[in-house]
Amino acid sequence: MTSADAPLVEARGLTRSYGAVRALRGVDLTLAAGEVLLVLGPNGAGKSTLLRSLAGLLRPQAGTVRVAGRELNRDDPDARRAIGLFSHQSLLYDELTLLENLMLAARLYDIADPRRVAEAALEAQGLLDRKESRPRQLSRGMLQRAAIARALLHDPRLLLLDEPFTGLDALAADRLRQLLALHHSPDRAMVLVTHQAGEAWDIATRVGVLVGGRWAYQAERPAELAPFHLRYQELLHA
């Protein structure tokens, strides 16, 4: 396999426990550029643990993760430059304005002209007029958009999203779906964790179901959501 053919994301044997709770039990994952993986599962299935492991924020007790051909290592920040993360935490500092937050992130990624890039990212999210606001002054939808702006600031090849639709009204959710569809391209990949398959069904290329820290299902996204939903309920109650 040439470097051009190599997976964008390759995880092997990911294992992680919290005390007696085994969150991941030898999980494998291969994701090519151009793919969008929708990860479903009940609470406690290991979805967020998987995402944090793929982001390099959580070191698995066993197994490896490679992104864009490099093995993730918390001591090697350059290995995580290909990754953008949207998590339950906004990763924004409350004492800084939105503009200051994004300029700081731009500097951390060694991006030239941090102010210009930060303002462009805010404008893309319709937040340029709130650039002097602090995160605590924003509505839930605005905060989500600011966090997405930060995650996309450095144009990551791998975008990881943990429950990005939580707390959004219908209009904000539609806007987020449009944004993710625009970000989807042949040289990028996404992993999107959610409880509701319908939230991102149209942009997904693959679907995986985690149950008890293991894959109960992994396949190309079926054409129709309704039959899959029945299958999903069977997997949860197997």
Position with higher pLDDT, 222 vs 78: 222
Where residue 1 falls among pLDDT bands split at 50, 70, 90? very low
Lowest mean pLDDT among 70-79, 124-133, 214-223: 70-79
Tell me the pTM.
Answer: 0.90
What's the rounded Cα separation, in Å, for the pair 157 and 184?
10
Residue recorded with tokens 């942009």: 203
In the numeric block, which tokens belong to residue 127?
């937040």
**SS3 label, residue 122:** helix
Q: Give me the sheet containing 83-86, strands edge to edge.
A: 83-86, 158-162, 189-193, 36-40, 206-211, 214-220
Lowest mean pLDDT among 39-53, 77-91, 113-127, 192-206: 77-91
| Residue 79 pLDDT | 75
Q: Given the DSSP bridges, would you call strands 36-40 and 206-211 parallel, antiparallel or unpaired?
A: parallel
pLDDT, mean over the chain: 91
Encoded amino acid at 50, one letter:
L
| Residue 172 pLDDT | 79
Q: Which helix (H) or strand (E) holds 12?
A: strand 9-18
What's the rounded Cα separation, in Å, for the pair 86 and 55?
10
> Per-residue pLDDT tens for 193-218?
998 899 899 999 999 999 999 999 99
Q: Is 104:149 a contact under the CB 8 Å cutoff?
A: no
pLDDT greater than 90 at residue 116: yes
Task: Report which DSSP code applies to 164.
Answer: T
